[in-house]
Chains A and B, each alone.
Chain A
């Protein structure tokens, strides 16, 4: 099985806790014989590189350098994420791949790949716009919430980090309960549960 993780932060680019979590997860996935790719953003460290932990990391940069907000920055960067993911898909001779998208940034790319190539995706929720910008209801926040909603709607499975996040996702986005699984990073069952969710999302498709 091939998994492609989309994350906007990955070491050495560390913004919050997500970078370290994804990097640890990738290491464990490789140990469990999963062909693991990470597509992330970086301004200068671009190109494919085999990482020490065995996960293949592709770092894309933004084709448009000047931006008026993180929203426009994100939406042009998504096309490069799509390009990198499509390259993996075609190099693997169109064999099965699964996308695991962490947070809202690269949901647009995951959705296009799903609609165009039938690549399913799992949406791993680290945080939500409602909690990052409580009470903010500007068009900017609405757009990000719209992207999060799209992720929940189009994802095959949703991973929540805690019981609290699980209930928040249901409260805010009315996502059906059976679509969401709680998996807490760092716990004993972290990797085992993640692999189970990947297999369910893959729906028995090519598991080689």
Chain B
């Protein structure tokens, strides 16, 4: 029998530590890789109450000291955390009875650990670039941003292969760091439709009544309240929508724009039509996605757009701005509605198109759900990832490191 493939994955977040999209990504990817016969060792930051080592569905999870002294700033913390992560991961890898075949790093947040161990153990390093500094900040402006940008460039240089979750990100990363085509691979992000299965037959009327009147349609936004997510575009579209139909806008998430958005809603006299819930627990969030009559993703910059996929998996029709990864997830009129980015009129038009036509709504729901099962299924994504590992090891076996 062939020896099992051993992968060590570095991620600064892993459940129960959830800060952004990398945590669920690494969680589902590693679990499904395990299902596909790959032994995954995840090395991640510690979290209060979470064990230092546990095995989750065949995945070995190690939580290391994430440097808890005060740090001068976030970026310096990242490098100090990497010192600890690398030190502990080195000891873990050295003690394993099976040698690690591939190191897999997620974003610049674990660059030092991945690069260092690549050279020390002489094994290939693979990196998934979930986002870039130049994209997040819409340019490189400060010394810190320069440093992070160069760290990302260094990481992609040291990587055997660079994975992006959308064709858009492949082009973006290629442009940002001047990478050759054959170094880039697109493997989509996945979604887990099973989490909504239990809600299929549940009566959610009482739950719905907490958010909207029975005659009101629910328009759902899930995301941070920050500029790049375009939440202000949605707020500006509200009067145009409620003029034509009775709807309630449920906004889930928090962010630095909160107060500003409150003030705009108040000045429009539409406080009875908008509900800011703040952060919602996972359980409530799933239910909200299930009962939403339309889910809106009005982003201005979006490397992938996982929240649109989740809505589609919950069988909620989606309106997305035609940008970044969202452009690839949604086919207009088939699996959702695409609207012009940064355009409140276009966004209102898209929301109304869905809210005022029940047949159209059901047509989108069914097609979207089918696409989820075909393209964004974690099991298939894990198989693609495994094939990539094997391809890399094939190339590696011919190198002088082998």
Q: Which residues of A contact B (CB under 8 A)?
A: 63-69, 71-72, 75-76, 78-79, 82-83, 86-87, 90, 108-109, 111-113, 115-118, 138-140, 142-143, 146-147, 150
Q: Quick check: B144 and A146 within 8 Å, CB to CB?
A: no
A-B contact pairs, 12 of them (CB 8 A): A67-B143, A75-B82, A79-B119, A86-B119, A90-B122, A113-B120, A115-B91, A115-B94, A116-B120, A116-B121, A139-B69, A142-B69
Cβ of B69: which chain A residues have Cβ within 8 Å of it?
Answer: 139, 142-143, 146
B401 to chain A, nearest CB (A): 8
Contact assessment for B154 and A63 in the assembled complex, using a CB-CB cutoff below 8 Å: yes
Distance, CA A124 to CA B117, complexed state (A): 25
Q: Is the CB of A71 within 8 A of B76?
A: yes
Q: Which residues of B contact A (CB under 8 A)?
A: 69-73, 75-76, 79-80, 82-83, 86-88, 90-91, 93-94, 112, 115-117, 119-122, 143-144, 146-147, 150-151, 154, 157
**Given A64-B147, A64-B150, residue A116 in contact with residue B76 (CB < 8 A):** no
From B72, B93, B115, A138 is in contact (CB under 8 Å) with B72
Instruction: Name which residue of chain B comes closest to A117, CB basis.
Output: B120
- Chain A residues, Cβ within 8 Å of B91: 115-116
> B120 to A86, Cβ gap below 8 A?
yes
- Inter-chain CA distance A79–B86, complex, in Å, is 10
Q: In the assembled complex, which residues on chain B have CB atoms less than 8 Å from the CB atom of A116?
A: 90-91, 93-94, 117, 120-121
Q: Secondary structure at chain A's binding surface: helix, strand, loop or mixed? A: helix
Would you give the shortest CB distance from A95 to chain B, in whole angstroms?
16
Closest-CB distance, B100 to chain A (whole angstroms): 10
Complex: how many Å from CA A71 to CA B143? 14
CB–CB B122/A142 < 8 A:
no
Please tell me if the beta carbons of B122 and A66 are within 8 angstroms of each other in the complex. Answer: no
Interface SS majority for chain B: helix
Q: A75-B80, A76-B151, A79-B119 are in contact. List 13 more A-B contacts (CB 8 A).
A: A66-B143, A69-B72, A69-B76, A71-B72, A75-B79, A75-B83, A75-B112, A86-B119, A90-B122, A112-B116, A116-B117, A116-B121, A139-B69
Residue of B nearest to A113 (CB): B120
Chain B residues near A75 (CB, 8 Å)? 79-80, 82-83, 112
**Which residues of A lie under 8 Å from residue B154 when comparing CB positions?**
63-64, 76
Chain B residues in 8 Å Cβ range of A143: 69, 71-72, 76, 80
Distance of A67 Cα from B143 Cα, bound (Å): 7
Query: CB distance A68 to B143 under 8 Å?
Result: yes
State the Cβ distance, A109 to closest chain B Cβ, in Å: 8
- Contacts A68-B144, A71-B76, A90-B122: A108 and B71 contacting too (C-beta < 8 A)? no
Q: Which of B70, B73, B119 contacts A68 (CB 8 A)?
A: B73
By the criterion CB–CB under 8 Å, are B70 and A79 in contact?
Answer: no
- A76 and B150 alpha carbons, distance in the complex (Å): 11
For A63, the chain B residues whose CB sits under 8 A away are: 150, 154, 157
Name, among A64, A75, A140, A142, the residue most crowded by chain B CB atoms within 10 Å (CB to CB).
Answer: A64
Q: In the complex, which of the residues B79, B150, B154 has the most CB atoms of chain A within 10 Å of its own CB atom?
A: B79
A66 touching B115, Cβ below 8 Å: no
Chain A residues near B147: list those with CB within 8 A. Answer: 64, 66-68, 72
Q: Shortest 6 CB-CB distances between A and B: which pairs?
A: A116-B90, A115-B90, A66-B146, A75-B79, A83-B119, A115-B91
Q: Quick one: given A63-B154, A117-B94, are A139 and B71 in contact (CB under 8 Å)? A: yes
Q: Bound state CA distance, A112 and B71, in angstroms?
A: 22
Most buried by A among B88, B120, B157: B120
Q: Taking CB as reference atom, which chain A residue is nearest B140?
A: A66
| List of B residues within 8 angstroms of A87 by Cβ | 119
Task: Collect the chain A residues with CB atoms within 8 Å of residue B117's CB.
Answer: 112, 116
Residues of A within 8 A of B151 (CB): 64, 76
**Contact flag A86-B122 (CB < 8 Å), given A66-B147, A72-B75, A143-B69:** yes
Shortest C-beta distance, A37 to chain B (Å), equals: 16
> For B120, what are the chain A residues with a Cβ–Cβ distance below 8 Å?
82, 86, 112-113, 116-117
- With a cutoff of 8 Å between Cβ atoms, the chain B residues found around residue A78 in the complex are 83, 112, 116
